[in-house]
Structure 1
Amino acid sequence: MNPSTALARVLVDELARCGLVEAVVAPGSRSTPLALALVAHPGIRVHVRVDERSASFLALGLARASRRPVAVVCTSGTAAANFHPAVMEADESGVPLLVLTADRPPELRGTGANQTVDQIGLYGGAVRMFTEVGTPDPAPGMVAYWRSLTCRAWAAALGGRPGPVHLNVAFRDPLTPDQTAGDGSTWTAPLDGRPDGRPWISRPGPHDEPAPYVLPDVERGVIVCGDGDYDPVPFLALSELTGWPLLAEPTSNARRAGAISTYRQLLAAPGFADAHTPELVVSVGRPNLSRQVLAYLRRAARHVVVTAASVGDARASLPDDFSDPARTATDVVAAVAPPAGVGGRAPERTAWSLSWERAEDAARRVVDGVLDAEETLSEPRLARDLVAQPAAGALLFAGASMPIRDLDATMHARCGVRLVGNRGVSGIDGTVSTAIGAALAHQRESDAPAYALLGDLALLHDQNGLIIGPGEPRPDLAIVVVNNDGGGIFSGLEQAGHPDFERVFGTPHGVSMERVAAVADLPYTRVEWATDLPKALLGEGLRIVEVRTTRAGSAALRRRLQDAVDAAVAHQG
């Protein structure tokens, strides 16, 4: 066996022993040993994509939904650079990703050799670990080095804060197993791993859970659940026990019964935030979706940030790993407990909690009233109705820009639907591929359907994600696209008044999603009326549902929603 094949087979075998079950491969020559080793392994499902950026975001989606590392492989050169946006998203959102970039051997670097760039530390500080694996030379101890390194990489991806790991693997020719005959290049050392399929390095069980921080007993407390893959149940229980209102972003998956679903409009209503200044805010995750929440955090005299570990990882996040975008944190803790004595008494219903509940009821009524006044399917109504449709167990991927914000503004509290999105860097690149990856991972464990709510620019930015070769795994995923012919998020910002707004920010494209669906040979449906949405969502496989709107009309509707909440709050006094 030639050295390149030996290295690739050992790396893949050890990854499988650690728990790898999904891998994404972008085709290329220098990465041939890794690609062949992956497709030959019976325990790993391999996905092939022609575009490295789509491949890396597909891996990101698979890892995000499955909560376990996924490998993504490419050849050398610009292929590795195309992984960078997904690596950045994985870093910021704490998604375990194993980035395996093939490279030329050292003797070809810096010589002008074809498809050779400097890949050492390519992703900078965005990775939890980088290793230049080195060339596979037949020297003593190499197998132990490769296997122990693989175990370290796996552990780094799943560490206190999960994230991407980069292994740069240099391969010399020959790159395929069938090129070794008569070339004198052999591998004589045993390649076997530990007995019984065990990983080379076994690790002890999870660390003991940290002692929770006992919160002070105050009336005017608020719980803010931002984006993140943590268990929301303790924070829902804390809200129930204390009476503190819970403000939950959609991708926190904490917007369940009892949560304040209209907090975005309430905090923007004149006088409401002034009348509801908190003594204490407890936050978890990344609360950065709305300006209203960030401004509200600055009002609190005390702000306790909880560095909750990811679901499936019993270890607390590192003490210096916490989200504090408003720079208001006064205490950073690994876990919290209700104030002393609260757990032994009936759930609190104070003047503070009742005031929030009355405001929520009033705001909820007027928001739904404005949305239901017209049967035409608007962007805010689409978001509200789409998340309300699926049965328990479904997955909904929310695109950046306006889709996630419309969900935040209109979504009712509900259980049973898991919401995910690329909220680490909040870019629109790779959105289609991430949604497909998330759906594939979700449906590996469940028969439940999956949906994605995307904007038109996000779909056009990642059209390649729709190109899936014959025989490749395909998800049951309805991609619902809001087509307002450009960048809708800018219509609500200060740029909207600039004379060059339409060209520079609106960026009209004139592309129908039906044409995009035709290129990818996908089923297509266009929906105009709200009552037709449930029927349009029916179907199997990958499909596109288009809803056409206007940017100006959507911006005006969002202003009407806020005006209606302002009036309802003012009427309450």
Structure 2
Amino acid sequence: MRYSSIPSAQSVILHCKAKGVKDIVISPGSRNAPLTIGFTEDPYFKCYSIVDERCAAFFALGIAQNTGKGVAVVCTSGSALLNYYPAIAEAFYSDIPLLVISADRPTYRIDIGDGQTIRQANVFKNHIGYQANLKQDVLHATATVQKYGKALLLAKESPETQQNNINNYNGVELQKAIDYALEERSPVHINVPFEEPLYNTQDYASVFPSIKEEEDPTLETCSRLDDFAAIWNNASKKMILVGVNKPSVVEQQFLDELAEDESVIVFTETTSNIHHPSFFNSIDSILAPIEKLDNKDELFTTLQPDVLLTFGGLIVSKKIKQFLRTYKPKHHWHIDGKKAYDTFFSLSHHFKVDTNTFFNAFLDKTKYKESGYYEYWSKVKLGYEQKREAYLETIPFSDMLAFSKILPNIPSGYQVHLSNSSTVRYAQLFPLKSALKVYCNRGTSGIDGSTSTAVGSSIYAKKPTVLITGDLSFLYDSNALWNNYIKPNFRVIVLNNSGGGIFRILPGQEETDNYKTYFETTHNLDISNLCKMYSIDYKLAEDEEMLEKHLENFYEESDRPKLLEVKTPRIINNKILLSYFDFIS
């Protein structure tokens, strides 16, 4: 096995290996050659080559999202590093352990006019868990360091002594950074300056870092549970709202127990991966019709909870946020082992434990409360479900009708990735099979990186993956297809309404050239050409009959990935969606 001859490069590789960081996503470059050599020469690591750094970071995020383990991305110096930022921000807000390892130029070459040189240290300071700026080696390229980097050398110490101190410093920083990423579920940045030569290797390791074993994290106990249980037991209106969750995280026995209490209603989102026949899985179908009624204040007051209990990540529905910010609960408790957002400006307590630990301790102390809370809103739910089916019989081919056909057709067990904007919001309107595993980048809710994330996540998925995305999101991230890791069972469904259809739903929409150019960004791009370039099987549906026909064999085994483009009328989609809420009200 070959090692880079640069000590700091060896340290990075050895620390990643010791901490079990196995998946390494590398983008090409010269300055990061010492890292690339070290990772690719060691059979312990599984390395991936992704040219586009923005795609590489989302690809790595997808792997980490699926496995829950730390994944590293490695790039060269300069602007290459900045392309990681969107995925870093997503990892920061979605609690994903992403290790960003960047090669850098020596400090004495920064801001003197050298190419591919920027101020890399602390560049992600607002969206990073820990920043490790490693020190440059002095026993590598010593003559160059003595000539240009005299400030790095101490006159009273030999280069050997100084290198030993550098090794120790870098080791401590690497341990802190990697431990933070894995324990706090956070992105970290490790910046490593290298002087040339960059490609020299040796057959042995010259660095022997002292790496401490990771301590088992201890969960904070749920203190004062009796007091909270008393509040819960006295409340006749209790709402549970669930945001983003990994599949199969919350034990079903707790969900079943909550469903039996007639004073509890549970609102779930498509991204929550929480299922029960008694739960409310289309929040907007409850709230949007009320907004249109003369007695809306009376109904919203009836819905207003005494206690709001939340867990999971960020919430998609704007309407539930608006409702709970206006009709605030008396108590808002959030369950999460790391953080609690005051999303509704009423947070009163943070239970800093995982969800199962909380419910295991809490539900034993609770009692069922007689209440008409669930019964009343259950009738409302049944009403809109019946009206939704009736409405679908009346509408022409459109985004909404397409989603009503696509979602029930996904085979059980599939991993489903949703892009943001219109896609995830349409998915919120329909129930999904409980056997599906749903993912979506809701940390920052951006359209960038959805395809790359889905491809990365599919690497370790035991079942096939389908990405459902809009045309702009898909085209924005088309470089996600530029790699050799897309499985033959990978599926993509692109809802193409020739632009940013969601802007037609938002206030301020008007049919002008300015609006179409700068907001909706209409286009006539041919997605089939992309599929041809990347050897992806392509099918097109432009009406309901064609869609149903293509869906019949879309998920059958194949020797290459498949993409189904669904073209819907640009002009009518927003009218059909908005009319839906009128219809069910």
Q: TM-score when scaled to structure 1?
A: 0.86
Q: Relative to structure 1, is the Cα distance of residues 300 and 73 closer, same or farther in structure 2, using a 3 angstrom cutoff? A: same
TM-superposition CA deviations, 1:178-213 (whole Å, max 9, x none): 5x8xxxxxx99843457xxxxx11123231452264
SS at match of 2:480: helix
1:454 aligns with 2:487: no
The reply on whether 1:254 has 2:274 as its aligned counterpart is yes
CA–CA separation in structure 2 for the residues paired with 1:16 and 1:468? 25
1:513 maps to which of 486, 506, 527:
527
Deviation sequence 1:252-296 (CA, Å, 0-9, x none): 112443211232121112234343222221112344312210122
Task: After TM superposition, give the deviation of residue 462 of structure 1 in Å.
Answer: 0.9
The match for 2:308 among 277, 281, 306 is 281
- Counterpart residue number, 2:351: 333
Q: Quick check: 2:92–2:128 contact (8 Å CA) kept in 1?
A: yes
Counterpart of 1:295 in structure 2 is 322
> Do the aligned residues in 2 keep the contact of 1:4 with 1:136 (CA within 8 Å)?
no
Report the counterpart of residue 312 of structure 1 in structure 2: none
The alpha carbon displacement at 1:148 in A equals 3.9
Q: Does 1:552 align with 2:571?
A: yes
Larger deviation: 134-143 or 331-340? 331-340
- The alignment's TM-score, normalised by the length of structure 2, stands at 0.85
Counterpart check, 1:366 vs 2:387:
yes
State the Cα deviation string for residues 77-108 of structure 1 (Å, max 9, x = none). 11011111111111111111000011001221
Residues 144, 391 of structure 1: alpha-carbon distance in 2 compared, 3 angstrom cutoff: farther
Shift of 1:556: 1.9
Tell me by how many angstroms 1:143 deviates. 4.4
Say if 1:3 and 1:439 are closer, same or farther in 2 by CA, change over 3 A.
Answer: closer
User: Quick one: percent identity of the two aligned structures?
Assistant: 24
Deviations 1:51-90 (A, max 9, x none): 1111111111111111111100110011011111111111
Alignment partner, residue 434 of structure 1: 453
Q: 1:305 aligns with which of 325, 333, 340?
A: 333
Partner of 2:132, secondary structure, is: strand
Q: CA deviation at 1:388?
A: 2.9
Distance 1:223 1:548, change over 3 A: same
Cα-to-partner distance string for 1:324-359 (whole Å, 9 max, x where unaligned): 223122232225867999758996674111112111
Distance 1:347 1:364, change over 3 A: farther
Amino acid at match of 2:460: A
Q: Which deviates more, 42-51 or 205-214?
A: 205-214
2:403 and 2:352 map into 1 onto residues whose CA distance is 34
Q: Which ranges of structure 2 fall in alignment gaps of 5 or more residues?
A: 140-162, 291-295
Report the counterpart of residue 571 of structure 1 in structure 2.
none
Partner of 1:125: 126
Structure 1 CA distance for aligned equivalents of residues 361 and 35 of structure 2: 56
What is the match of residue 322 of structure 1?
340
Q: Which moved more, 1:40-49 or 1:167-176?
A: 40-49
- TM-fit CA distance, 1:167: 0.5
The answer on 1:59 being equivalent to 2:72 is no
Q: Do 2:399 and 2:573's aligned partners in 1 also have CA atoms closer than 8 Å? A: yes
Report the equivalent of 2:375. Answer: 354
Q: How many positions carry a matched residue from both structures?
A: 535
Letter in 2 for 1:485: S
Is residue 244 of structure 2 the alignment partner of residue 227 of structure 1? yes
Could you tell me how far apart the structure 2 residues matched to 1:56 and 1:259 are? 36
Structure 2 letter corresponding to 1:154: I
Structure 1 spans left out of the alignment, 5+ residues: 181-186, 195-199, 309-315, 567-573
Q: Distance in 2 between matches of 1:384 and 1:69?
A: 36
| Corresponding position of 1:564 | 583
The equivalent position to 2:431 in structure 1, one of 408, 411, 419, is: 411
For residue 115 of structure 1, give the secondary structure of its aligned residue in structure 2.
coil
Deviations 1:407-447 (A, max 9, x none): 112234x31211111111111112211111111132xxx1x
Q: Tell me which amino acid in the other structure corresponds to 1:521.
A: S
Go from structure 1 to structure 2 and tell me whether the alpha carbon gap of 1:375 and 1:267 turns closer, same or farther (over 3 Å shift). Answer: closer
Question: Closer, same or farther in 2 for the Cα pair 1:117/1:277, shift >3 Å?
Answer: same
Distance verdict in 2 for CA 1:458–1:4, change over 3 Å: farther
Secondary structure of 2:572's aligned partner: helix
* Counterparts of 2:360 and 2:51, CA distance in 1: 55
Amino acid at match of 1:206: P
Deviation at 1:19, TM superposition (A): 1.2
Amino acid at match of 2:187: P
- Do the aligned residues in 1 keep the contact of 2:287 with 2:320 (CA within 8 Å)? yes
In the alignment, the residues of structure 2 paired with residue 323 and residue 345 of structure 1 have an alpha-carbon distance, to the nearest angstrom, of 25
Structure-1 separation of matches of 2:63 and 2:346: 34
Checking the alignment, whether the CA contact within 8 Å between 1:93 and 1:228 is kept in structure 2 is: no
Confirm or deny that 1:158 pairs with 2:185: no
When structure 1 is superposed on structure 2, of 551-560 and 531-540 the one drifting more is 531-540
Find the residue that maps to 1:441 and give its secondary structure. Answer: coil
Deviations 1:386-406 (A, max 9, x none): 343344432101100000000
Summarize the Cα distance change of 1:92–1:346 in structure 2 as closer, same or farther, 3 Å threshold. Answer: closer
Q: Mark the CA change 1:375 to 1:509 in structure 2 (over 3 Å): closer, same or farther.
A: closer
Q: CA deviation at 1:543?
A: 2.5
Name the SS for the 2:438 alignment partner: strand
Write the mapping of 1:230-241 to structure 2, written as runs, cut at 5 A. 231-233=249-251, 236-237=255-256, 239-241=258-260
90 and 281 in structure 1: CA distance in 2 versus 1, 3 angstrom threshold: same
Q: Is the 8 A contact 2:219 2:352 kept in 1?
A: no
**Structure 1 residues 368-517: aligned runs within 5 Å:** 368-373=389-394, 376=397, 378-412=398-432, 414-442=433-461, 446=462, 448-469=463-484, 472=485, 474=487, 476-497=489-510, 499=512, 500-517=514-531
State how 1:110-259 maps to structure 2 within 5 Å.
110-138=111-139, 139-160=163-184, 162-178=185-201, 190-192=206-208, 200-208=211-219, 210-211=221-222, 213=225, 214-215=228-229, 216-217=232-233, 218-229=235-246, 231-233=249-251, 236-237=255-256, 239-243=258-262, 244-259=264-279
Report the Cα distance in structure 2 between the residues aligned to 1:358 and 1:189, rounded to whole angstroms. Answer: 69
SS of match in other structure, 1:242: coil
Q: Secondary structure at the match of 1:325?
A: coil
Q: Matches of 1:77 and 1:121 in 2, distance apart?
A: 14
1:339 and 1:359 map into 2 onto residues whose CA distance is 31
- Note the C-alpha offset of 1:47: 1.2
**Distance in 2 between the 1:169 and 1:475 partners?**
37
Equivalent residue, structure 2, for 1:263: 283
Partners of 1:547 and 1:397 lie apart in 2 by: 17
Q: Secondary structure at the match of 1:561?
A: helix
Alpha-carbon distance in 1 for matches of 2:360, 2:476? 48
CA distance 1:323–1:189, change in 2 (3 Å)? same
Moved more, 84-93 or 481-490: 84-93
SS in 2 for 1:140: helix
Deviates more, 1:141-150 or 1:399-408: 141-150
Deviates more, 1:219-228 or 1:399-408: 219-228
Aligned partner letter, 2:426: D
Cα distance in structure 1, aligned partners of 2:3 and 2:492: 45
2:365, 2:36 → 1: CA distance?
58
